[in-house]
Each structure stands twice: as structure tokens, then as C-alpha cells.
Structure 1
């Protein structure tokens, strides 16, 4: 090999390694105070790169963000195309600190059609105590896969998970370049995001096929004016004022046209007992999530997910999978998001199902219901009850016993419909 050829090879290698970023997302949960009054805050974030060895760090851009410890673990990999890792960052923050901001920036994104090169993501944290909850604010809880695929000739909606532990109203929007939220933000023209966090894709021409950087912001707003305080200072927060801001970054792959846009033909279609999008699952031990899908003209090959790094994935049979997660004691009181898609293939084409997400609420203490008449009915079929969506109006939801029932059944307790899955300590419910 000549010197010239060697230099060209090295340049190509370095160029391919430079374009390696697929996205990120970050959430946070205040956990409690130490003996000296400092607040412990746990941040869960995802870093998505081409390789599991690529990495970047979140930096404090405020005067003081406390002291930190960080642990990184692999969540999911996809055939050397991408790797997502979860970072668990614990910060001990002085009681004198009310606000701070964390930032992730660097380069380069994977090659994108909307010409985004450098990456940037910002998280805004407000740790003042809310008088309505008597605790510091918790951010919305969400996650996202590094890559979502859609055929260029199909319209599709992506319903992003937007769960708020405090019961606040969650809204989504595109990042703002002028506000220094991304570099640049450059939203794709064929994508629109609603305040309710539904991303709508409109079909495009063949020239628009390729990869796109999607850069969103998620914020939580109180449903009515609340008071927050730090030391002796009190401030009113109105429903127009965001309490926190977290970033959502991922890559949208616009693929070749598909012969049929109907779900269940080439694009995988979810089947019962797959949980409904937005379902909330309570657990005090291990939770098992069954996912089933079909595609008559393509082969269901894999389930891909984003969630806690210690979720274990099992392939049960063709088109059937189980996600199993056992939370640690340190995660008591947390609400953890898990999102997933099923991928089918036909020749070299890859097809994704819709995006589905659930919230897993881990509680070690017994959850006690208020006294009320209880009616237990014979079980019918999981298909009719196992995918009840979660109501965001948490103020109306009574607490539900977290133990495991000895048999499957449907119960009505204090106006709440509950499906208890036999042999699994989790519960689907909604207000009725």
C-alpha cells in the first residue's frame, strides 16, 4: 500500500468515526436530603452513538451544580449501526442552590439530510420546594430509541411518552436555535410536533429519503398557579411558566417506499397482550412486559427498546417477546419509562412498528386503598383488559395494592378498573 493510499484510508476511517452521534434524552428525580440539608438528585440519561465506546459528558454551565458521580451501562445495540447507553448521574446539591443547567455538546451527528452537524442538548433544573407537593419538582419522564424508521410513502404518528410524576401538564416543541438549545435546530419540514407530544410524519418524495436529526424540548407546566420557595423567598409559578426543560434527540430514518402502509402487512402490528401506549405499571418486584406483533409479508426479527440498562429481553417465539426488569432498592419511588418497537425485515428492507411506551412505577412500601366495596368478577380474556391506558389525572387515582393476586381477575376498587396479571406483580389501570 502506497503512502497516498494509506493517507486516504485513514481520512476515510476518521471521517466515518466522526459522524457517530444519534441522540440523547435526560430526566431527573430529586430523592431526598442528606444530614447536612443537601439534596440528592438522580439524573437518568441516554447517549446514542455508532459505537458503545463513543461517549460524551454532561457539563455544568451554571456557577454550581453540586458534586456528581456517574455510572454508564449499555442499554441496547443494533447490528453495529448504533449503541445506546444509560448514564445514572447522582448529584449532591447544596440547599442554597435553586437552579442550574446541564449541557451536552460536541460533534458530529451521523450524516443528516437537514444538515445538522454539531450536537447540543440542555436540561434546566429548578430545585425549589413546591407547596402543592411539599417536594422539589420532578421532570417529565420519557425516553426514546436512537433510531426510528418510517417508509417515505407512509404517513405516521409517533406518540412520545410524556408522563409527569407531579401531575403537571407536559408540552413538547422543537428546539430553538436563538435560545441556544441546539446547533442548529433545523426541524425537518415534513415533521410537525404538537404540544401534546405527537410527532406527525407526512409522506415525502424519494429525494427526501435519508437520515434526519430530530431535536425536541419537553417541558412541564403547573395546571394552576403554585407557590415555590427556597429559604424565606416565595415565588408564584403560573400555568404559562415551565418548571423544567429536558431534551429529546433522536435520528429519523426515512426509508424506501413500502408496498403497503397498512399495519400488519409489512409494518409490524402490535397484538394483545402488548400494553397500550402510555400504560402505567406498578410493581414491588420484577415486572414482565409481553410484546406480540405480526407482519404477514415480512419476517418479525427483533424487539428493540430504550429503558433502564438492566432490562432483560427474551425472544419467546416468532413475534413474541418479553421485557423483564427488576428494579433496585435505590429506585424506590421512581417512575421509569420503557419504549419499544418491533422490527420486521423483507430482503434488505427494515420496517418498524409504531412506537409504544409504558411507565413502570416502583414502590417497595405497601400501597393501601381507601375503604370501599370491592367486586371481583371472573376473568375473561387478556385481550379485553390488559392494555388499559393510564389516565394522567393522578389526583383522581386512588392508591392500589401492590401485592400479587393469586389468580387473574378484574376488580373494581374505588372507581378504578384494574387488570391483575396472574403470576406477575404489575397492574394496569385507569380511572372509570
Structure 2
């Protein structure tokens, strides 16, 4: 049987395009791509997982937890008709330079993307007021183009008190059709998965871990995004924020640095994939590709949120499982009194059919009102590869 490596995370461009004001509904996204064989040649498949203020995103004005896994086609059309703006959920552009061109050319492909979009709701937090959707688009690789630089941008972020209102979001990545000498195939970008919105405590050394994998088995490395890759976060990065190569983000949210109760800011992370063999023949480590991850953070004096407790596995725990067998893992969560745990949710980066079963009260020494749930998944042979699976929990107070 084929082996499946499964990564379980317990945490849970330069174009003159008209951009209209969009009432601050965006709260983060991550982009990735794979190169596939289409009907008429190579195509780039774009995967975007984006977060929006609840009721203002592609899930529609009636978005709720019941919308999870639903298709957004009807809701998107309803929003477009109401707003009268086909760019309401952002602009898509592609920059190319074919062998016969002296300069690069930027094209607006928003209409092409919107007419070929496949999108569904990944997660909804009714209490925290956000929605998250997964968008998949296929676009043909342009003949004789050595690269395609694809960008997704728009107005605007939910108001960012640390970086300004009406802030532009911007993510981009470069896809290349050339075959790699080690795999004999075009490169696929790394993939990342995170919540779109985090709450962190003031005057504390806060840590956020972003789950990353690479479908080609390359080494994926994180860094703080810079320049145009980071959008608003490059011009006004959060004070003293640092990012390690294995994607642990540290934010010392001291008041003396400008953080205050209720303040909000955007974070931009770049994830690059490198050959696992190390340096290139020229002695310089060059990435195959780069993707962007962006999300919103709110800083608060007090946070009353449930937490995962032992014996739940640590975040970014890796499991090796086999196709045709059933994987199960128990997770335990404790609320802040007087709240009670009322909901677990499973999120698969590739819509893996992971389920929650055996939701029940349990006893854990030195903890109160603990609820346990079992995550379960039976992968198929077609699932062989790397996966990211996350679990989230909510209590009765949100």
C-alpha cells in the first residue's frame, strides 16, 4: 500500500487596475500553486484560502456554521449584483514576458478567474465573526512564457489600527513551466494553512505556528515577508515581530512598542521551497518558488478562550499513515469557567474528509469541564502525499 505522510496541526502587481473601496472585509489569505497537464497543455492551478469578515465574504450575507463545505457560487453572484462590482473580492493579474517580448506585460485576468472559479466554505466562526473559503482556479500556462507572476490584491483589510484603514491586500507568486532536473516535472509551490484571525494577549511573548508542507518533498522555509510580497505589512510591520525558518512567529506585544487593548494589525509571511540537497552548483541557495501567507491579529488585555490540553498532541505533530487504514487521534479541550466546550471543527488543507466523532465529557487531572473528541480519517490511495489537517474548538462564550 502507498504510504501517506500526514501533518496534523493542533491549533487551531504592478498593474493599473481600478480598485474600489470594499468596506474592510478582508482578514487574510494564503496562496499556492501546482502545475498540471490540462486538455490543451500545461495549466497552473491556483489555490487560495482566504478569510473575510463574516457576512461580507464570498460565503454571503447569510453565512453561518451551516455553510461549511457549501459551494459559494450563488452567494458570490448575489454579492456582485448587490455591489455592482466584479472586483469586490479582489483583482487578479498576471505578468509575463515571452521570448519575443522586450518588456514584461501585465494583464487583468479577474473576469477569467471569476468565470472559472471553484470555491467552497472551509470554516466559519460565528462568535469571532469570520469566514474562510477555499478557492481553486485553473489558468493555462502562456506559450513561450518562462514564468507567470500571478497576483491577487484588493481593498481593503478590516481596519488596521496599527497600519491604517483602507489598506490594500496583496499576494503574489511566480509559476514556471520548466522541468526540474531532479523530478523531471515542473515545480509545485509549498502550501500553508492558518487561521485568518488570531487574538493575542498584551504584554506577553506571543507565539503563532503556521503549518507548511511541500508536495514535491522540498524543504519549506518561512521568513517575514518584505517589499511588495507583504503588501501593507512591509511598509508597517508589527513592532519586534520575528519569524523562524520553521514558521514560528514571535510577537512581544509590549505597550511600550505601541500595542494597546483592541489594536489590530496584519502579518505577512513568505514561504519558500528549496532543494533538500542544499546549495546549488553556484554555491548560492536559490528557492524554487515563494508563496504568501497573511492574517489578522487583535491584541487584548484579557482573552477568555478554550485551550487544548495534554494528552492532545503538540502542534505540528507529524503522523505516517497508510492508505486504506483509518487514522484516529483524540483531542482534549478545556474552557475558561463558566463557559463550556460546545464545538470542535476539523479543517483539511485539501478538503480531506476528516470527521469528529465521540464528542463527550471526560476527566483530566487538574482540569475542569474537559471535552474530548476523536478525529478520524480513512485516506485513499489517491491521497498519497503530504497533508495538513487542523482542529479547532469553540466554547459557549466564543
Say whether residues 1:320 and 2:372 are aligned partners. Answer: yes
What SS does the corresponding residue of 2:157 show, helix, strand or coil?
A: coil
1:158 matched to 2:213? no
| Shift, 1:162, TM fit | 2.5
CA pair 300-28 structure 1, distance change in 2 beyond 3 A: same
**Alignment counterpart, residue 51 of structure 2, candidates 41, 48, 56:** 48
Superposed, 1:231-246 pairs within 5 Å as 239-246=284-291
Relative distance call for 1:137 and 1:238 in structure 2 (3 A) is farther
What's 2:300 paired with? 255
Closer, same or farther in 2 for the Cα pair 1:311/1:161, shift >3 Å?
same
How far is 1:204 from its partner? 2.6
Residues 234-313 of structure 1 aligned to structure 2 (within 5 Å): 239-257=284-302, 268-272=307-311, 274=313, 276-284=315-323, 290-295=330-335, 297=337, 299-304=340-345, 306=347, 307-309=349-351, 311=353
Following TM superposition, by how much is the alpha carbon of 1:131 offset from its aligned partner in structure 2, in angstroms?
1.1
User: Over residues 252-289 of structure 1, what are the superposed CA-to-partner deviations in whole Å (9 max), with x where a residue is unaligned?
Assistant: 12222359xxxxxx651333354751414545357655
Deviation at 1:152, TM superposition (A): 1.8
Shift of 1:21: 0.5
CA distance in 2: counterparts of 1:288 and 1:189, whole angstroms: 41
CA contact (8 A) 1:153 1:203 kept: yes
- 1:76 paired residue among 90, 99, 123: 123
Q: 1:247–1:133: structure 2 CA closer, same or farther, 3 Å change rule?
A: same
Q: Which is greater in Rg?
A: 1
1:213 CA displacement: 0.9
Between the two structures, name the one with larger relative contact order (CA 8 Å, sep ≥ 6): 2
Change (3 A) 1:106 1:130: same
Distance 2:350 2:156 in 1: 26
Q: Decide whether aligned partners of structure 1 residues 149 and 311 sit closer, same or farther in structure 2, where only a CA change above 3 A counts.
A: farther
Pairing 1:85–2:119 present: no
Deviations 1:284-341 (A, max 9, x none): 3576554322346453343355434464653612423345567789x65553323344
Q: Which moved more, 1:158-167 or 1:91-100?
A: 91-100
Distance 2:386 2:318 in 1: 12
Unmatched segments (≥5 aa) in structure 2: 1-19, 61-75, 77-88, 99-106, 362-370
Shift of the alpha carbon at 1:70? 2.2
Question: Given the two structures, how large is their TM-score scaled by the length of structure 1?
Answer: 0.62
Alpha-carbon offset, residue 109 of structure 1: 0.6
Q: Distance in 1 between matches of 2:317 and 2:145?
A: 34
Match of 1:230 in 2: none
- Residues 20 and 198 of structure 1, relative CA distance in 2, 3 Å threshold: same
1:182 is matched with which residue: 207, 223, 231?
231
My pick for the range that moved more, 51-60 or 133-142, is 51-60
Give, in whole Å, the separation in 1 of the partners of 2:243 and 2:345.
23
Q: Indicate if the aligned counterparts of 1:174 and 1:216 stay in contact, CA closer than 8 A.
A: yes
Take 2:33 and 2:90, find their aligned partners in 1: how far apart are those partners? 18
In the alignment, the residues of structure 2 paired with residue 86 and residue 237 of structure 1 have an alpha-carbon distance, to the nearest angstrom, of: 39
Cα deviation, residue 119, structure 1: 0.8
Q: Distance in 1 between matches of 2:331 and 2:282?
A: 41
Provide the C-alpha distance between the structure 1 equivalents of 2:30 and 2:143, rounded to a whole number of angstroms. 26
Q: Deviations over 1:18-56 (max 9, x none)?
A: 01111110122234x3576x2244332112111323733
- Partners in 1 of 2:25 and 2:230 — Cα distance? 20
Distance 2:268 2:122 in 1: 21
